[in-house]
Homo-oligomer: A and B are copies of this chain.
Amino acid sequence: MSKVKFEYSDHLEIIGVKGIPEIRAGDDLTAIFFDALEKNDLCLESGDAIVFTSKVISKSEDRVVDLVEVKAGNEAERIAAETDKDPRIVQLILNEIREIVIVKQNNIIVETKHGFVCANAGVDESNVEDGKAVLLPEDPQSSVSRLRQEIEARSGKEVSVLTSDSFGRAFRDGVSGICVGVSGVPALLDRRGERDRFGRVAMITKEAIADEVCAAANLVMGEFNEGIPVAIVRGLRLKQRDSNIEDVLFHRANDLFR
């Protein structure tokens, strides 16, 4: 990961982009986003960080599965019985993972093929038609890179694009917005080696900027039926053209809790 020139902002805006319709497979998210900007009298500014929920990216990329087409195998049936879940949902989870981290108290915590440790591999039955489930984007990092290129080409502004999901956390109840793909702002801002206000060199300071941006965006997107799947975080002065959410994933050897 390249070293990032950082500069902090002392003023940010978080703008929920209203009026985005239900997204269907094959929809042009960029075109829909610009239509919504126009309806809201919003113009993009250079430096804007645009956060899309993973769900709208998944829907546009046809990552919605009809459960009648899912056949649960033996492992799925076994884990489903243990966790009181639909065996077909468990099969979808198993299809999306590298490994199971822990199955406990009706929770299935896994590492997804992308390397994210989360519940249920992000497989989600909310805000989709009954009998269907939404998977995480197959390659959210590519999705945001493509969206950034399209949005920059159309707007002429240098922006960043992130995609967020809501993950539970170890040791704390509740979910928080978290980043599953980032292009244009750093995933981690590595400030090791800099000096603090007393001249002392930082021991460890890597700030999870992309996750903080997605947590902030969640405050205007909500978790549920607000119908605001896109937010703009305006005023960040951080740039990293080659950012990648993989920067935030531990090498297995450094992961304290596995």
Interface residues of A (CB under 8 A from B): 8-16, 18, 22, 102, 104-105, 107, 109, 117, 125-130, 166, 169-178, 187-189, 191, 194-198, 200, 202-203, 205-209, 211-213, 215-216, 218-228, 233, 236, 247-250, 254-258
Contacts and interface: CB of A to CB of B under 8 A. Distances in A.
Contact of A219 (B209, B228, B256): B209
B8 A117 contact: no
Contacts of A223: 189, 191, 205, 207
Given A14-B11, A172-B249, A196 B219 contact: no
Contact of A211 (B109, B176, B254, B256): B176
Copies of this chain, tallied across the complex: 2
A224 B191 contact: yes
A90 to B, nearest CB: 14
Given A9-B16, A205-B224, A249 B130 contact: no
A135 to B, nearest CB: 17
Given A191-B224, A256-B105, A175 B207 contact: yes
Given A11-B220, A126-B200, A216-B216, A256 B170 contact: yes
Nearest to A233: B219
Given A256-B102, A256-B109, A208 B174 contact: yes
Contacts of A200: 125-126, 130
Contacts of A10: 15-16, 18, 220, 228
Contacts of A226: 8
B215 A257 contact: no
Most buried by B among A211, A228, A249: A211
Contact of A208 (B172, B197, B206, B216): B172
Contacts of A16: 8-11
Given A172-B211, A198-B130, A219-B213, A257 B257 contact: yes
Contact of A225 (B117, B127, B196): B196
Given A215-B211, A256-B104, A171 B11 contact: no
Q: Which 10 A-B pairs have CB atoms at the shortest separation, nearest pair first?
A: A10-B16, A216-B216, A174-B208, A170-B170, A215-B215, A117-B171, A12-B14, A174-B206, A212-B215, A170-B257
Given A223-B207, A254-B105, A8 B171 contact: no
Nearest to A107: B256
A125 B203 contact: yes
